[in-house]
Chain A
């Protein structure tokens, strides 16, 4: 099972919006509404920020939103804050009890 494809890096200024894409195939992202996103700051454990494509856990700001179209899922961060600078990973169910993760995207807040 190949990893999901994410851009290696994105950037934006405080207050701006950025979108991180996550491209899979019809067997994973395209076939299931089981996409989640994780935020990881350097030296820290990952943190869940989106699950089931677009649901936010309690405590996650509504600046974070998720969506999906076809084989591509997206994470949008609106009104960037400095503390949003981190690595972001998408994840999808891929059938047959398999989970697949993306390669990760480094977000830089300029």
Chain B
């Protein structure tokens, strides 16, 4: 069974850094891209980025380019989403998801449970 398990909720102050994680199991971790999706409180889903654990290639939405960094550790079967300096507007639930079909036309067939990030002074 494919599973993506995300790290727990975080409460941070503006300006702090953060790295959240997404551990994959039940499939070949390097064979599928991982995507990240943001959901701000009471709002819809927004695609942020894709990352290939196989070749470390990354694709970012123009809206998130330069705002976050995505990466992965193949040996740990874990993908990461990182901020250098959080803002209050980063408060949201962040989902990771497995991308089937690759960076061209792929779709998300399995999702993590989400990580709630709260940024408040």
Using CB atoms and an 8 Å cutoff, list the residues of chain A in contact with chain B: 1, 3, 32-34, 36, 38, 40, 45-48, 51-52, 57, 87, 89, 91, 93, 97-104
Contact at A46–B108, with CB atoms within 8 Å? yes
Q: What bracket does the count of chain B residues touching chain A fall in?
A: 20 to 34
Contact at A34–B50, with CB atoms within 8 Å? no
With an 8 A cutoff between CB atoms, is B26 at the interface? no
Q: Which residues of A contact B101 (CB under 8 A)?
A: 34, 51
Instruction: Scan residues 7-51 of chain B and give those whose CB is less than 8 A from a CB of chain A.
Output: 35, 37, 44-47, 50
Q: Which residues of A contact B35 (CB under 8 A)?
A: 99
Give the complex CA separation of A93 and B100 in angstroms: 13
Contact at B44–A98, with CB atoms within 8 Å? no
Contact at B105–A45, with CB atoms within 8 Å? no
Pick the residue among B46, B100, B111 that contacts A45 (CB under 8 A). B111
Task: Give 29 CB contacts A-B under 8 Å.
Answer: A1-B61, A34-B105, A34-B107, A36-B107, A36-B108, A38-B45, A38-B108, A45-B95, A45-B111, A45-B114, A46-B95, A47-B111, A48-B108, A51-B100, A51-B101, A51-B107, A51-B109, A57-B109, A89-B44, A91-B107, A91-B108, A93-B106, A97-B59, A97-B104, A98-B62, A99-B47, A99-B61, A100-B47, A101-B37
Give the complex CA separation of A51 and B109 in angstroms: 9
Contact at A93–B104, with CB atoms within 8 Å? yes
Q: 1/0 contact trace for B90-121 toward A, CB 8 Å?
A: 00000101001101111111011110000000
